[in-house]
Amino acid sequence: MAEVRVSPERSLADRPVRVRVRGLCPGQAVTLRASLTDEQGEEFQARAFFRANQEGEVDPGCHPALGGSYSGVWPMGLLWALQPNSLFRRLVKRDVAGSPFRVRLQLFNGVQLDTEPRDRPLASCEAERWYVGPGVQRVPVKEGRVRGALFLPP
């Protein structure tokens, strides 16, 4: 049975994560899809096509993506390649302290070219990407014409 895992499941947005797929047939072609919905409800996604190694595993940090949103060996490729489903949108996190981005990772059999895959995923998992660490205080700054935020460590 196929499984997709991301470790760590909860991390700061500037920290690397590792994506691994296990339980595939050797040489099996698969699509890994990452997606998230931003605070305005806009969906962003990226996908990459892989061929499982002899052990039936895929690791984007070791195995090259054969196409999709990017190609080559990029451990974090599915996260940096996220693109909006509609034109002229940008991925911006406004509520940095209150909630994380929840990135859904899905594994599909074969090459999935559609924006919304029609098949059920073979496996899926979720990663939380936080922008502020635990215990960090956000203090609004408003002095004259200066506006901003001061982040204080715990």
pLDDT digits (tens, 9 = 90+) for 137-151: 989 999 999 999 999
Tell me if the domain spanning 3-152 has CATH number 3.40.50.2300. no
Beta bridge partners of 22: 3
pLDDT tens column, 97-143: 889 999 999 999 999 887 777 789 999 999 999 999 989 998 999 99
Eight-state DSSP code of residue 72: B
For the chain, the average pLDDT equals 94
5 to 29, 39, 66, 130: CA distances (angstroms):
18, 25, 20, 18
Residues 137 and 152: beta-carbon distance below 8 Å: yes
- Rounded-to-integer distance, Cα 73 and Cα 62, Å: 6
Domain regions of the chain by residue span: 3-152
Which of 52-61, 85-94, 99-108, 139-148 is least confident? 85-94
Q: Alpha helix locations (H) across 10-153?
A: 77-80
User: Looking at residue 51, what is its pLDDT?
Assistant: 97
For the segment 14-40, what is each residue's pLDDT rounded down to a tens digit?
999 999 999 999 999 999 999 999 999
Taking alpha carbons only, the member of 71, 86, 76, 101 closest to residue 10 is: 101
pLDDT at 116: 77
The candidate with the shortest Cα–Cα distance to 99, out of 21, 36, 22, 27, is 36
- The secondary structure element, H or E, covering residue 16 is none
